[in-house]
Amino acid sequence: MPALQNDILIRALLKKPVPRTPLWIMRQAGRYLPEYRATRKRAGGFLTLCKTPELACEVTLQPVERFDLDAAILFSDILTIPDAMGLGLSFTEGEGPRFSKPVTCMKDVQRIAATQPLEGLDYVYDAVRLVRQELGGRVPLIGFSGSPWTLATYMVEGQTSREFRKIKGMLYAHPELLEHLLEILSQAVVEYLLAQVRAGAQAVMVFDTWGGVLSREAYLNYSLKPMRHVVTELLKTGTQPVVPITLFTKGVGQELADLAATGCHAVGLDWTMEMDQARALVGSRVALQGNLDPAVLYGPDEVIRREVRKVLEKFGTGSGHVFNLGHGIQQYVDPEKVVVLVEAVKEFSPAYH
């Protein structure tokens, strides 16, 4: 593999000195880009796009080609693991993911335990290898997975949910069933991320989209505990060079300190917590990633620049900050606003290093 020419993302995640704050954007390869929409139309469907390595590589590279970003993130979906477990994943335009065989009982969990999901995910690893080759060392490639809890929510609910009635019902009525499912998923996530690293991913991220819907006690037991297992197992491998691990739970505040205590290298923030408060909570244990409100990109250029400066000011001086949105970029954002964002971070951030 070619040597990495721009490694400031990796250095910042490891809290090493950098000349400026690195930047990438969650969902940076997505529907706000006309070239992505064209490729998806050519693919004929979202799952085909994800499962065709050449097309996944193409859309992974699109934002890197268009914007001066400091990382590429693999184009894939967080539901690849449960799909490979045979739950019958499909996507309906405007409705999101749906499983035809949701998990409802111990028999379902035992059936999942007997599967070999990683054997059905070669298309992901092939895409990683292709992207690394096409990047040519320009920027690092981030691999990712959904968190065990987030994967479980979709697998039990069968689709996106607002109330999480089924999985929360399982949590309180049949906790042993949920715990068994999370154990299976935790190990699957470990193996999945390791396979991405072996294929060429240079940093990894765990997206815990739905941890914020839990009470603190439930969060610590059913969301954080499985993620801690993932981090512990990944760190045991002693990969060299070090592959930084970032954990991101949407909708948590005080639990940031608990996330930082897992042993991960970085913690992602959504836009509901101020960067200075987060830094006070985690101290020097981890780097912080985030956390501009994605809706800021609907504002005029001067507002985007002002809000970028605020995020940088609230983090303050020193390394350990990766600039990002507080969640994924939204589909109606004008791509030219991303140019404004990138230029602002590059203009203002050197003063803090």
Tell me the catalytic residues: 27, 31, 40, 77, 154
Query: In the structure encoding, which two tokens stand for residue 289, read together?
Result: 């990633």
Single-letter code of the amino acid located at 250: K
Question: Which of 213, 206, 205 lies closest to 251, judged by CA?
Answer: 213
Distance from C-alpha of 330 to C-alpha of 92, rounded to nearest angstrom: 18
Q: Are 322 and 24 in contact (CB under 8 A)?
A: yes
Distance from C-alpha of 172 to C-alpha of 168, rounded to nearest angstrom: 6
- Residue whose tokens read 């449960």: 82
Cα-flanking dihedrals φ and ψ of residue 263, to 5°? 105, 0
Give bridge partners of residue 205 from the DSSP assignment. 144, 246
* Long-range contacts from 57-65, C-beta under 8 angstroms, 24+ separation: 57/127, 57/130, 57/131, 57/134, 59/29, 60/29, 60/127, 60/131, 60/141, 61/131, 61/134, 61/135, 62/29, 62/33, 62/35, 62/36, 63/25, 63/28, 63/29, 63/33, 63/338, 64/135, 64/138, 64/139
Question: Which of 167, 192, 195 lies closest to 181, judged by CA?
Answer: 167
Q: DSSP for 165-220, please give it.
A: HHHHHHHHH-HHHHHHHHHHHHHHHHHHHHHHHHHT-SEEEEEETTGGGS-HHHII
Query: Strand 321-325 relative to strand 89-92: parallel, antiparallel, unpaired?
Result: unpaired
Distance from C-alpha of 222 to C-alpha of 240, rounded to nearest angstrom: 31
